[in-house]
């Protein structure tokens, strides 16, 4: 990169939010640099990579990189089940590394410059320009977008508000799905296994994924659950491969996520559903909105981009309350009781399938809860 030619926009982080922002801004004529710390896009994943329908529809995720799943099987502490589906609704399990590489190619096709092994080391504002040091190089840019995840270094360097509350998730991948029913997202509601969240299993285009997440202050204990899943679904423990693990911000949008000439987006700003931990849809949609708004501001003098993004933010109010309730890890007898009652079936349908007129097929799951992500404004429950 030529340090003498300033970029219009420097984006820190080549994840969902950064790549969506890069493509949108480059398409609107900005000279964009994406600075990614990893050696390649899509390595060392820390996400299950399940897309809710809205994200899948909006981004035209290639069929070859995804699998459509239309049902959710919810397992209680005693492993009783409740099957749910919503007419027309679906989730996509994905070959997540390939989806991220595809998003990167789309951003580059739009004209964005992508640099890997390019960790942001410092950011200083001088006049109207940001002077950045990343991957050992000097880079200048008019606007700085921090899309660098839950522990955002950009946020720290700019003195913005950090995420303080997290859900911790860990997952194993298997190359073969065994007996796992591919038509369902399998979600386990059990405070012993996954206190404060859920455990899950799903078939993806590249095998099976089994994982769990726990609320703040707890450690995810994956071994007992994978042993159970391996036994029930005949997954081969010898062939368990990549481990995906990470933190999901669950305290809602941070207080201060912008300053003149810079903002945070995606996980960096806490733009993640506090209840479900679903963050791909907000990362893509708000990332794109940020890219568009920065371009409109820099090229056409439109309103400050952070105002445009603020107007598009979901209202996480009720979900934050529900997160506090889940953080207490309700006793298992309560889950058992709830799963056998009609109101729980109604609630679970709303959580997993939103406003679609979902119906129980026969009986909550990790991916199912992620459905809350979509259209947060329209749905009453989240
Ligand atoms: C175990 C787990 C499972 C999940 N499953 C789902 C799911 O199924 N569906 C869903 O919707 N959400 C899920 N989430 C949440 C979802 O993954 C995140 O909300 C989403 O990835 C956020 O995207 P992002 O682009 O904001 O951040 P990230 O995906 O974290 O991307 C940030 C990027 O910034 C880079 N970076 C960091 N620091 C620097 C630096 N100093 N310089 C340069 N680059 C840097 C990182 O390498 C990374 O590539 C899950 C999260 C976890 C932890």
173 lines ligand 1 (CB under 6 A): no
Residue 184's pLDDT is 96
Question: Residue ranges per domain, the chain?
Answer: 7-44+96-164+251-317
Q: How far apart are CA 349 and CA 336, in angstroms?
A: 17
- Three-state secondary-structure class, residue 185: strand
244 lines ligand 1 (CB under 6 A): yes
N-terminal to C-terminal alpha carbon distance within the chain: 44
Q: Which of 283, 286, 365, 376 to mutate to test the pocket of ligand 1 (most atoms within 8 A of CB)?
A: 283
- pLDDT in tens for each of the 382 residues of the chain? 554 689 999 999 999 999 999 999 999 999 999 999 999 999 999 999 999 998 988 888 999 999 999 999 999 999 989 998 888 899 999 999 999 999 999 999 999 999 999 999 999 999 999 999 999 999 999 999 999 999 999 999 999 999 999 999 999 999 999 999 999 999 999 999 999 999 999 999 999 999 999 998 899 999 999 999 999 999 999 999 878 999 999 999 999 999 999 999 999 999 999 988 899 999 999 999 999 999 999 999 989 999 999 999 999 999 999 898 888 888 998 888 878 877 777 777 777 776 554 444 433 333 333 333 333 322 222 2
Q: What is the dihedral of CA 335, 210, 165, 258, to 10 degrees?
A: -130
Q: How far apart are CA 41 and CA 38, in angstroms?
A: 7
Closest CA to 248 of 330, 323, 353, 313: 323
370 lines ligand 1 (CB under 6 A): yes
Contact 181, 201 (CB under 8 A): no
Q: How far apart are CA 129 and CA 80, in angstroms?
A: 59
220 lines ligand 1 (CB under 6 A): no
Contacts of 2 (CB under 8 A, 6+ apart): none
Ligand 1 nearest atom to the CA of residue 38, by list position: 47
Nearest CA to ligand 1 atom 42: 119
Does the global pTM surpass 0.85? yes
Ligand 1 centroid to 268 CA: how many Å? Answer: 9
Ligand 1 centroid to 148 CA: how many Å? Answer: 8
Residue 378's pLDDT is 26
Ligand 1 centroid to 152 CA: how many Å? Answer: 10
Residue 356's pLDDT is 54
17 lines ligand 1 (CB under 6 A): yes
Q: Which of 54, 213, 248, 375 to mutate to test the pocket of ligand 1 (most atoms within 8 A of CB)?
A: 248
In order, the DSSP letters of 241-293 are --EEEEEEE-S-S-S--EETTEEE-GGGGT-S-TTT---HHHHHHHHHHHHHH
CATH number of the domain located at residue range(s) 7-44+96-164+251-317 in this protein: 3.50.50.60
13 lines ligand 1 (CB under 6 A): yes
Name the maximum alpha-carbon separation found in the chain.
Answer: 66
Nearest CA to ligand 1 atom 2: 47
């Amino acid at each position: 990169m030529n340090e003498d030619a300033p970029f219009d926009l420097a984006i820190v982080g080549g994840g969902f939010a950064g790549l969506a922002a890069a493509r949108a801004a480059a398409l609107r004529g900005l000279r964009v640099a994406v600075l990614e710390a990893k050696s390649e896009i899509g390595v060392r994943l820390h996400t299950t990579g399940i897309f809710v329908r809205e994200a899948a529809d909006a981004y035209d995720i290639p069929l070859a990189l995804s699998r459509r799943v239309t049902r959710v099987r919810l397992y209680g502490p005693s492993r009783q089940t409740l099957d749910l589906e919503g007419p027309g609704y679906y989730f996509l399990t994905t070959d997540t590394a390939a989806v991220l590489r595809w998003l990167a190619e789309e951003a580059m096709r739009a004209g964005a410059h992508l640099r890997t092994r390019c960790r942001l080391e410092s950011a200083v504002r001088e006049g109207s320009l940001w002077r950045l040091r990343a991957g050992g190089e000097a880079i200048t840019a008019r606007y700085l977008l921090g899309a660098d995840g839950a522990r955002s270094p950009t946020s720290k360097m700019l003195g913005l508000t950090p995420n303080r509350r997290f859900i911790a998730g860990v997952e194993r991948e298997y190359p073969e799905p065994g007996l796992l029913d591919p038509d369902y997202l399998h979600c386990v509601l059990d405070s012993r296994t996954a206190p404060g969240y859920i455990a899950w299993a799903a078939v993806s285009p590249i095998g099976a994924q089994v994982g769990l997440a726990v609320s703040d202050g707890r450690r995810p204990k994956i071994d007992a659950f994978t042993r159970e899943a391996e036994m029930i679904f005949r997954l081969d423990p010898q062939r368990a491969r990549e481990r995906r693990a990470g933190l999901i911000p669950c305290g809602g949008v941070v207080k201060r996520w912008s300053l003149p000439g810079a903002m945070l987006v995606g996980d960096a700003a806490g733009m993640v559903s506090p209840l479900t931990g679903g963050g791909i849809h907000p990362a893509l949609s708000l990332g794109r909105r940020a890219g568009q708004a920065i371009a409109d501001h820099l090229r056409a003098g439109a309103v400050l981009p952070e105002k445009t993004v603020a107007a598009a933010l979901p209202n996480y109010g009720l979900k934050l309350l529900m997160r506090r309730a889940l953080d207490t890890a309700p006793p298992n007898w309560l889950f058992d009781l709830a799963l056998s009652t009609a109101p729980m079936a109604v609630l679970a349908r709303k959580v997993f399938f939103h406003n679609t007129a979902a119906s129980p097929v026969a009986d909550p799951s990790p991916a199912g809860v992620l459905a809350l992500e979509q259209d947060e404004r329209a749905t009453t429950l989240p």
